[in-house]
Amino acid sequence: MTFKLINRTKPTDTKPARSQVLPKLKRKQLGDLVPKRGAKVAPVIASALLKASGWRTVGEVPNIPQAVVLALPHTSNIDGVFAIPSLFALDLKISIMGKHTLFKIPVFAQLLHWIGIVPIDRGKKGSVLQASIDKFKTGKPLFLGLAPEGTRQYTETWKSGFYYLAVGAGVPILPVAMDYNTKEIRFLSPVYPSGDIEADLPKIYAQYKGVIPKHPERLSQPLQDINNSPD
């Protein structure tokens, strides 16, 4: 097993080297099909927080109502401190899965729905995968965020559930990268799964080449390999 990185550079306090390829992403650029929160005050506050922290969001969100969104690399709890405001600044609603029992209190349930928590009954007959597919089958707008590394520590492989969820639901996979070197949240190019995971995964890996996480030593092996591969 190869465990090395070409670049272990850690973020510094100097001005980050911004992406020269992807344009800055603004809220008004989101299409009418993309899931949104419909908030007015939150985007203003979140935008101010991002500006103060030096982070920005770049790339493009395709004008589609449904997608499996990949959050990578995820090596620290601090990731959310910058990732969450980036979503609120765009008024973009990316949902994550949560236990259905959390929704038993009506007022709390409304808050969870607004945040973007999707209730999943893990004890119900059938797998979590099928329950997630069923959420897409309702036809309602849904960007479901997943972290395929499955841990904030080093891992040799990604969990493949995100891929089979996208295949089963018939939706694209939207990779999103968090780069501490450039202080950017990057929305990358969607991948439409063919059903051949061995052919499609390299298309996803390749988009993360050069991305530096909070803790480079925890970068998953697939992303280490793509970083170490020749251009």
pLDDT value, residue 192 = 97
Q: Tell me how far apart the alpha carbons of residues 61 and 219 are, in angstroms, rounded to a whole number.
A: 25
* Phi and psi at residue 21, to the nearest 5°: -110, -50
pLDDT value, residue 12 = 45
Q: Is 36 buried (19+), middle (13-18) or exposed (0-12) by CB count in 10 A? A: middle
pLDDT value, residue 22 = 85
pLDDT confidence band for 107 (50 / 70 / 90): low
Q: Tell me how far apart the alpha carbons of residues 5 and 19 are, in angstroms, rounded to a whole number.
A: 21
Please enumerate in sequence order all residues whose Cβ is within 8 A of that of 211, keeping only pairs 6 or more positions apart, or say none.
Answer: 72, 73, 177, 178, 179, 181, 186, 223
Between 112 and 163, residue with greater pLDDT: 163
Assigned token pair, 132: 């997630």
* Residue 185 structural domain: 27-226
Phi-psi region of 100 (alpha: psi -120 to 50; beta: other; left: phi over 0): alpha
The CA-based diameter of the chain, rounded to the nearest angstrom, is: 54
In percent, the amount of the chain with pLDDT more than 70 equals: 78
Residue 16 inside a domain? The answer is: no
Residue 231 inside a domain? The answer is: no
Between 117 and 95, residue with greater pLDDT: 95
Q: Tell me how far apart the alpha carbons of residues 76 and 86 are, in angstroms, rounded to a whole number.
A: 17
Q: Is 189 buried (19+), middle (13-18) or exposed (0-12) by CB count in 10 A? A: middle
Examine the pLDDT at 124 and tell me if it is beyond 70. no
SS3 144: strand
Residue 8 inside a domain? The answer is: no
pLDDT value, residue 39 = 87
Q: What is the pTM of this model?
A: 0.83
Our count of domains for the chain comes to 1
pLDDT confidence band for 80 (50 / 70 / 90): confident
Residue 7 inside a domain? The answer is: no
Examine the pLDDT at 5 and tell me if it is beyond 50. no
Which range has the worst mean pLDDT, 95-109, 127-141, 155-169? 95-109
Between 124 and 129, residue with greater pLDDT: 129
Mean pLDDT of the chain, nearest integer: 85
Residue 1 inside a domain? The answer is: no
Q: Tell me how far apart the alpha carbons of residues 112 and 109 are, in angstroms, rounded to a whole number.
A: 5
Residue 141 inside a domain? The answer is: yes
Residue 5 inside a domain? The answer is: no
Amino acid at 88: F
Residue 125 inside a domain? The answer is: yes
pLDDT per position as a tens digit, 7-38: 444 444 455 666 667 899 999 999 999 999 88
pLDDT per position as a tens digit, 187-209: 999 999 999 999 999 999 999 99
Percentages of the chain per state (helix, strand, coil), in multiples of 5: 35, 15, 45
